[in-house]
Each structure stands twice: as structure tokens, then as C-alpha cells.
Amino acid sequence: MDQKKTGQFLKILRNEKGLTQEQLAKHFNVSNRSVSRWETGSNLPDISLLVEIADFYDVDVREIIDGERKSEMMEKETREVADKMAAYATGEKSKLLKFVQVLSIVGVVITIISIVLQTISYEPDLKRAGSIFATLIAFIIMCVITLYVTGLLSRFSKHKKAVKAVKIVTVALMVIVTQYVLFTTLILGLALAMFASSPVELSTDVSEYNKYIHNGSGYSSEYMMGNYPQFDIMPETIDAEVIEYQIMYYNPWDAQYIVYMTLDYGEGYSGEIDRLEAIGIDDYKGIYTVTGEPEGYDLVAMDSDDYNGFVYALIPEGDSSNTKITYCAIMFCNYMLDVDVHDYMPDRYLLEGFDATADNPYEQQMMKGR
């Protein structure tokens, strides 16, 4: 079969009718481009259209396929076969089209539900904002596909007011989603700026103890340590020899503390032990994957929190002559530390198994349960 010859023949037939490509396209409800491609031979009419075109030009199908007029017309039986072939092809295409239409409508409904759910549960997060934006784009694409496969797009495009209304709604939706993206970007930008501008404060001067602990100087309202009841384990005043002392304070968004302090109480040791034992040791294992007390030490007091962390007091294991007590605090929020605990706390004082790094197992477990 010579497609170019067939195309030239179709062009001759159109010219004999005195029609333009646009007029012919309108008659057969196809695009101008389709008619042009038929006549250049780059594409041929669907078999379902072939009989209609033959009837329109008053030629037989075989003449169109061969690209020239025949001296004899196609026999009636041959024409009937062609009609049946066209009907069969049309039926198959109709089944496929209905299936695609159903899928398109389902896709539109799913994307609408997705947009609604993401918007209702929205929290400032660049990934979530990007997800909403991508879902909106998918929704627009699905709407266009649905309108096309259902045949509504060609009808709809003729109504200028309706097209204008759709454009306005689309722009409005884009503006709303863009606001989400910009708002999230602004929040994250401010957070990053705060992280960058908030220095880690490190104090090794015991005279600054009340600057951070128990509202000693009134300064703790800034440092917020007085808001954590767990710090009751820490002594209100230091009435003992300081062996070691360090407080790390960091507040890029929420206050975080890593504290260790060892005091030698001498004769006052038993009194402090009594105070700590009265506080007691609560159930701390399992929080932030902690499995037990530091190796070589016994817990005297422990106040743990499944969100904020731990404050505890230690004494050397099995040392009956000991008069020293070590106080430790690792306090934070949002289930993770923004600093490396090993940089600010000796490993010998860390609870076994403790992990508060980003995306730690305990954080994932708690976030999954929310």
C-alpha cells in the first residue's frame, strides 16, 4: 500500500468537492491536522472512518486504499465486509474508551481526596508543601485527561465563559498552594537562621551555677531550666567540693541542656544521699533505647521523661568509702538533640543504649504512634 498515493487521492477528492481542509475536518469531527496528515500520507484515517469517507466522496474503499479510481465498483459483499470491520473496530475502541474514562474519573476523585487530606493535616514542612503542589498539578492533568476522553473538552472549549472560569479557579488554586510553599519556606528559613545564629553556651565556671539552675538569679527565665521539674535532682546550692562541672546550653528553637557535675560531700554525703533516695528512681529503661545505668556506677536518683530526657545522680559502684556524687542531665524536646551528646558528656556517665540523634529509633516509634 502506497500511503502517499492514497493521500494524494484523498486531496484530489476533496478538491473535486471544492472543500477546504477545515471544512472537511468539521464534517468528520476531526482536527485540521488530521486531514492534513491524511493527505500527506503521514497517517491514514481510522478504519471506522474509511467507509464514511468513501460514501462522502462516492467512491469505494478499495479505490481509496489503492489511491486511484477503478473501472468497476466494489462488489456489495466486499462493502458489507468493510462495514462489519469498521463496526467491530468502533466497538473495540468504545470499550477501551469507557475503561479509560472510568480510570480518569477515579484518578480525579483520588487526587481531590489527597489534596483535602494533605491540607487538613498540613504543618509547615517543605516536603509536605511540595507534595501538595505536585498533587495539585496531577489534579489539573487528570481533569484535562478526563475532559478529553469523555469528549467534554471539545464542547467545553467552545464556551469562552466556562473556559475563563476554569482558568480563574486554576490560578486561585495555584496561588493558594504557592502560599503554602512560600509560608513553609519562610518558616524553614527563619528556623535555619535561628540555628545559625544561636551559639552553644558552655559553662565550666561553677559560680554561674545559679545562672542556669533553680531560678537562682532570676536569669533562668531566659534559660527555662526552672520549667523542668526533673532538675529537682540537682542541688539548689553547691555546699561541697567541686570535682568537675560543665553545663551546655543550646536554644536554636527549643532549650537543650547537657550537664554533668561531680561533688565531694565529705561528711555531708549521707544527708545528700538521703535526699536523692527520697526522690527515687523511676522507670527509665526503654526511653530513647536506654537499657541500663552507666557501667561501673549505681543510680541513686532518676527522673526521666519520654519526651524531654533524663536527670539522674550516680555514685561509683561498690565503693563503700565513696563521698562523691555525680549529677547528670540530658534535656531536650521533639525527641532529638541538635548536638552530639558525646561532645559535651563523658561517655562514662551516659546511660547505656542512649540514642537521641536525628531519626533515632525511639523518635520514629513515638512519631508513628501520634
pLDDT of 97 over the 80 cut? no
Q: Which residues are paired to 325 by β-bridges?
A: 263
Task: Give every CB contact of residue 53 below 8 A, 6+ residues apart in sequence.
Answer: 10, 28, 45, 64
Q: What Rg value do the Cα atoms of the chain yield, rounded? A: 40
Predicted TM-score (pTM) of the model is: 0.50
pLDDT of 311 over the 80 cut? yes
Neighbours of 307 (CB within 10 A): 10
pLDDT of 66 over the 70 cut? yes
Cα–Cα distance measured from residue 331 to residue 333, given in angstroms and rounded to the nearest whole number: 7
Cα–Cα distance measured from residue 98 to residue 94, given in angstroms and rounded to the nearest whole number: 6
Alpha carbon distances (Å) from 2 to 12, 14, 283, 308: 16, 19, 87, 80
* Strand, helix or coil for residue 264: strand
pLDDT of 305 over the 80 cut? yes
Q: What percent of the chain has pLDDT over 90?
A: 31
- The per-residue pLDDT for 125 is 59
Cα–Cα distance measured from residue 299 to residue 276, given in angstroms and rounded to the nearest whole number: 10
Output phi, psi for 48, to 5 deg.
-65, -25
The residue among 48 and 191 whose pLDDT is bigger is 48
- The per-residue pLDDT for 75 is 52
- Among 32-41, 55-64, 323-332, 361-370, the range of highest mean pLDDT: 323-332
Pairing of strands 324-331, 256-264: antiparallel
The DSSP secondary-structure symbol of 357 reads S
Q: Spell out the domain ranges in the chain.
A: 3-74, 113-197, 201-368
Q: At what angle do helices 32-40 and 3-17 cross, to 10 degrees?
A: 120
Task: Please count the CA atoms within 13 angstroms of the CA of 326 that sit on its side-chain side.
Answer: 22
- Among 43-57, 83-97, 242-256, 346-360, the range of highest mean pLDDT: 346-360
Closest CA to 328 of 311, 343, 341: 311
Cα–Cα distance measured from residue 188 to residue 126, given in angstroms and rounded to the nearest whole number: 8
Task: Give every CB contact of residue 182 below 8 A, 6+ residues apart in sequence.
Answer: none
Phi-psi region of 218 (alpha: psi -120 to 50; beta: other; left: phi over 0): left
**Could you please report the per-residue DSSP string of 167-216?**
HHHHHHHHHHHHHHHHHHHHHHHHHHHHHHH-PPEEE--GGGHHHHSTTS
* Strand, helix or coil for residue 321: coil
Q: Which residues are paired to 15 by β-bridges?
A: none
- The per-residue pLDDT for 347 is 96
Q: What is the mean pLDDT of residues 302-309?
A: 91
pLDDT of 183 over the 50 cut? yes
| Contact by Cβ (8 Å): 302, 284 | yes
Cα–Cα distance measured from residue 198 to residue 253, given in angstroms and rounded to the nearest whole number: 9
Q: Which residues are paired to 66 by β-bridges?
A: none
Cell matching residue 266: 565529705
Neighbours of 104 (CB within 10 A): 19
* Strand, helix or coil for residue 308: coil
**107-124 pLDDT, tens digit each:** 778 877 877 777 666 565
Worst-scoring range by mean pLDDT, 24-38, 153-167, 234-248? 153-167
Q: At what angle do helices 160-197 and 126-149 cross, to 10 degrees?
A: 170
pLDDT of 162 over the 80 cut? no
pLDDT of 224 over the 60 cut? no
Q: What is the mean pLDDT of residues 87-109?
A: 67
Average pLDDT of every residue of the chain: 79
Per-residue pLDDT band for 154 (boundaries 50, 70, 90) equals: low
Cell matching residue 367: 512519631
Task: Give every CB contact of residue 47 below 8 A, 6+ residues apart in sequence.
Answer: 85, 86, 89
pLDDT of 187 over the 80 cut? no
- Among 9-23, 64-78, 164-178, 287-301, the range of highest mean pLDDT: 287-301
Alpha carbon distances (Å) from 187 to 85, 124, 201, 254, 348: 64, 7, 24, 15, 39
CATH code assigned to 3-74: 1.10.260.40
Cell matching residue 272: 545528700
* Strand, helix or coil for residue 329: strand
